[in-house]
Amino acid sequence: MMRPLFVLTSLLLAALIVYLFVSAPPPLPEQTAANANIPVEKVFALVEAENDAARALWTREIVGVGTKAGLSFSENWREATEEAGPLPALFLRETAKNLEKDPVRLSLFLGSDAPINSANRFEGLQQEAFARIRKTGEPQFFRMPDTGLYTAMFPDEAVTEACVTCHNDHEDSPKSDWKLHEVMGATTWAYPEKQLTAEQMIGVLAAVRTSIRGAYQAYLDKAATFSKPPETGARWPREGYYLPSADVFMAELSESTAAASLDALLNATASPSPASAAGVPSP
C-alpha cells in the first residue's frame, strides 16, 4: 500500500504539472526569454537525482536480487540468443537512447578515463573536468565551446561488487584494480540553453521519466521471450522469479523521488532570476 505522504506528494507534483501545462495561460512569444529564469544547473541536478534513483532501484532490486532469483544480466543482452537483461551501465545507455528520440533536447552520456568501450573515453575539456571530479568529488558545470552545449558531469561510483568485478575481469578493460565506491566515471548531461522556464523544466523531467520507463519496458519485452519467462505483475524478484510491471517499477521510483523532485521544482520556480548560473560561463 502506498504511504500517505507519497500519495500527497505525488498529487501535488501532478497538480503542478497540470497547472503548468494545462491551466496556465500560454506565454506570449516575447515573454518566453523573460520567463526563463531557472539555471540549467538546477535542472541538471534534478534529472541526475532521478537517474540515480532509477539506477539504484534497477541495480538493487532487479539485478542484485534478480540474480539470486534466477535472472541473468549481460552486456550482450540484446542478442537473440541471450536470455538476459542489461547491466546497470547498459540500463543507463538504454535510457540515454530513448532520451535521444525526445524533442526536449537533453542528452545523457556515461563516460570515463578508463572505459571498457573506448568510444566512452573522455577527451579534451570533458577529461579536464573529470580530472577535477576525481580530485574533489564535486560535480562540474561548463559549456562546451565546440557545440555550445551547457554540460554537467556528476561522479559515478562503483556501488556494488558486481560493477567492480565486471570491469576488473573484462578482457577489454584498461584497468583491472577498481575498488568498491571508487569513482569509475561520470554521468554527463548536456542542454542547449543556459536558463529554462518552469514549463521547460517540467518537460525535461517528464522526458527523463519516460526514457527510464522505456528502458525498463525494453527489458520486460526481452524477458517475455525467455524460454522460461518470469511472471510480470505486482511482485518483485525478492519474492521469487518475478518482475514488476512497468507501472509498478515507475511507481516505486516515483515514491523515492517525488518529494525531492517537487521540492526542487517549487524552489526553482520561486527563485529570483540570477545574473548567471553559477559555474556556467556566459556565452
Domain count, the chain: 1
Domain presence at residue 95 = yes
| 14-23, 27-36, 136-145: which is most confident | 136-145
Residue 277 lies in a domain: no
Instruction: Choose between 35 and 98: higher pLDDT.
Output: 98
Under the banding of pLDDT at 50, 70 and 90, the label for residue 130 is very high
The answer to whether 280 touches 41, Cβ cutoff 8 Å, is yes
Q: How many helices (H) and strands (E) does the chain have?
A: 9, 8
Q: Residue 56's pLDDT is what?
A: 93
Among positive and negative, which fits the CA dihedral 195, 200, 201, 207?
negative
Answer yes or no: is pLDDT of 63 > 90: yes
Does residue 77 register a pLDDT over 80?
A: yes
Q: Determine, yes or no, domain membership for 191.
A: yes
Is residue 21 situated within a structural domain? no
Helix (H) or strand (E) holding 184: strand 183-191
Q: pTM of this prediction?
A: 0.83
Cα separation, 78 vs 31, whole angstroms: 46
Tell me what the mean pLDDT of segment 122-127 comes to: 94
User: Looking at beta carbons, which pairs linking 243-250 to residues 24 or more positions away fall under 8 Å?
Assistant: 243/62, 243/66, 243/71, 245/220, 246/213, 246/216, 246/217, 246/220, 249/57, 249/213, 249/216, 250/209, 250/212, 250/213, 250/216
Domain annotation covers residue 204: yes
| Predicted confidence band of residue 113 (pLDDT cuts 50, 70, 90) | confident
List the domain range (segments joined by +) for residue 61: 38-268
Residue 273 placed within a domain: no
With a cut of 60, say whether residue 13 has pLDDT above it: no
